[in-house]
Amino acid sequence: MVNKKKYFYNLYKNIKNKKAVVGVVGVGYVGIQLLLQFKKKNIKTIGFDRDKIKLDKLIKGISPFSYISDKKIRSLKNQSFYTEKYENISLCDVIIICLPTPIKKNTKPDLSAIENTLKKIKKFIKKGQLIILESTTYPGTTRDIIGNNLKKFKLGEDLFLSYSPERENPGSAVPFNKVNKITSGYSKNCSILSELLYKKIVNSVEVAGSLEEAEMTKLLENIYRSVNIGLVNELKMICLAMKIDINKIIKLASTKPFGFSAFYPGPGVGGHCIPIDPYYLYWRAKKFGQEAKFIKIAGEINIKTTQWTIKNIAKIISKNKTTKRKKVLILGLAYKKNIEDIRESAGIKILQSLSKMKFVVDFSDPHVDRNDSLFKKLVGRSKNIDINKNIKNYDCVVLVTDHDAFNYKMIIKFSKILIDTRNRIYRKDNFFRL
Ligand code: SAJ
């Protein structure tokens, strides 16, 4: 009996006395936060990532993340980072996988990052380790894609497996340790070990009854947002046709102290979670003979919202007969305010579509990484301009992402035509809210 439990007791002891080494695979916005939080508790960590440039910066104490200071990154100074030297996985007692889970062109789940990395680390996984997946994915992934690929182990006995959804929200004012963490386990002992680990870095841990419950919880959290944002975006289009201000309606509805949470219309939904997650559930539900119609339509409405926004911007500018070749300035390309992330961003889609029409389109965004090669490819010949000097040169200014850093007084004063897609500003003349 003792033999069967020796791995469990050994790992339990090491996690409890903070001797367990935590490996983080994928040092993105989720992984970096875990490294910082474990470091804060003097728990030894190892970071693995394929991005050598990013790791070199981290080792030099330079933050690759606009919302994390260099000073904070320097706290990781004697941190070990490896660019895919996966043999060092065997130095870890816990391995937390924080890899991207995008969708393919056909909107099917793309788990290639997890599958390919697992293939590389598999031979270095050893008895007595706890493996935790944090990536957002459909129910069944941890068991099927990870568990079923580690058959040489006795899961729950000599190898432990857990799923714990990431709740990292870059730029959020809520401190990491105050965000409850959901965790789970392939077996009871897996749950116990995972809960013990996360209790080192967050105040409260909720243990789900299964891996699938924990995976589904994350999808509910994010699809709830997708559906509610889709609702207000659809209502926005209806209200505009009825000459009703949707933002006033939301404000009035928000006076109800129960049964209503406010969401706000925008130019469409961006990011790595909200536009993507519904497709993970839609795809998985089909495997169980279920058609998630409502979820699918909400995602479609959010996509339609960006197309509707583009059409209306073009219409407003074309109506204005001042000059032939209209010059348009897009304010904010990140997918939401005060961060640099441009994934699935409405701003990029609007810039690209207007550029394909007869407009000259430039942008201003203080957060995006202008040297990022993907970013340069996405914006093409559009220039990132200093609005304080150049705003008057544009026939139309469109506020797409309402970063706090913008000088809104100046924007209101000097924009010829001003379009606001975020209900952030107002003026009487030559002003349109979409
Ligand atoms: N958006 C709207 N109207 C809204 C809220 C958001 O148009 O009322 C747009 C945003 O502009 C953005 C997109 O939707 O383009 C997604 O916004 P988001 O606030 O949901 O931000 P995300 O994608 O960063 O979502 C994350 C999620 N966190 C994690 O997955 C760990 C989500 O669960 C959080 O609730 C959300 O942050 C948050 O609270 O901001």
**Tens of pLDDT, residues 289-314:** 999 999 999 999 999 999 999 999 99
Q: Is 94 exposed, middle or buried (0-12, 13-18, 19+ CB in 10 A)?
A: buried
Distance linking the first and last C-alpha atoms of the chain:
67
C-alpha 361/C-alpha 379 separation (Å) is: 9
Rounded to the nearest angstrom, the distance between the alpha carbon of 321 and the centre of ligand 1 is 38
Share of residues in the chain with pLDDT > 90 (%)? 88
Nearest CA to ligand 1 atom 36: 169
pLDDT, one tens digit per residue, over 126-151 is 999 999 999 999 999 999 999 999 99
Rounded to whole angstroms, the Cα distance separating 364 from 384 reads 5
Cβ 135 vs Cβ 97: under 8 Å: yes
Per-residue confidence (pLDDT) for residue 322, from 0 to 100: 67
9-45 per-position pLDDT tens digit: 999 999 999 999 999 999 999 999 999 999 999 999 9
How far apart are alpha carbons 164 and 134 in whole angstroms? 5
Q: What is the mean pLDDT of residues 53-79?
A: 89
Alpha carbons 226 and 53: distance in angstroms, whole number: 34
| 274 CA from centroid of ligand 1 (Å) | 7
* Whether residue 424 has its Cβ less than 6 Å from ligand 1: no
CATH number of the structural domain 6-209: 3.40.50.720
**Integer angstrom CA distances of residue 378 from 328, 347, 356, 369:** 17, 11, 13, 12
Q: Residue 94 has which token pair?
A: 């816990």
Report the C-alpha gap between 62 and 64 in whole angstroms. 6
- Regarding the beta carbon of 8 and ligand 1, being less than 6 Å apart is answered no
CB of 171 closer than 6 A to ligand 1? no
Contact (Cβ atoms closer than 8 angstroms) between residue 42 and residue 22: no
Q: What is the pLDDT of residue 82?
A: 83
Contact 314, 350 (CB under 8 A): no
CB atoms within 10 A of CB 348: 24
For the chain, domain boundaries: 6-209, 277-433
Give the pLDDT band of residue 2 (cuts 50, 70, 90).
low
Concerning whether 92 is annotated as a catalytic residue, the answer is: no
155 pocket-lining for ligand 1 (C-beta < 6 Å): no
Structural contact between residues 160 and 147, judged by C-beta atoms closer than 8 angstroms: no
Intrachain domains 6-209 and 277-433 with the same fold: yes
Rg, C-alpha atoms of the chain:
24
| Rounded CA separation 159/152 (Å) | 10
Q: How far is the CA of 271 from the centre of ligand 1 (A)?
A: 7
Which of 227, 247, 336, 401 is the pocket-test mutation for ligand 1 (most atoms within 8 Å of CB)? Answer: 336
Using a 6 Å cutoff on CB, does residue 217 contact ligand 1? no
List, for residues 171-202, the tens digit of each pLDDT value: 788 999 999 999 999 999 999 999 999 999 99
Ligand 1 pocket member 308 (CB < 6 A): no
Q: Identify the architecture of domain 277-433 in CATH.
A: 3-Layer(aba) Sandwich (3.40)
Task: Enumerate helices (H) and strands (E) in the chain, giving the number of each.
Answer: 15, 13
Residue 321 confidence (pLDDT): 75
Q: Tell me which of 136, 236, 274, 303 to substitute to probe ligand 1's pocket, judged by most ligand atoms within 8 Å of the beta carbon.
A: 274
Catalytic residue among 98, 190, 239, 273: 273
- Chain segment 232-272, per-residue pLDDT in tens: 999 999 999 999 999 999 999 999 999 999 999 999 999 98
- CA 235, 237, 242: angle at the middle one, nearest 5? 90
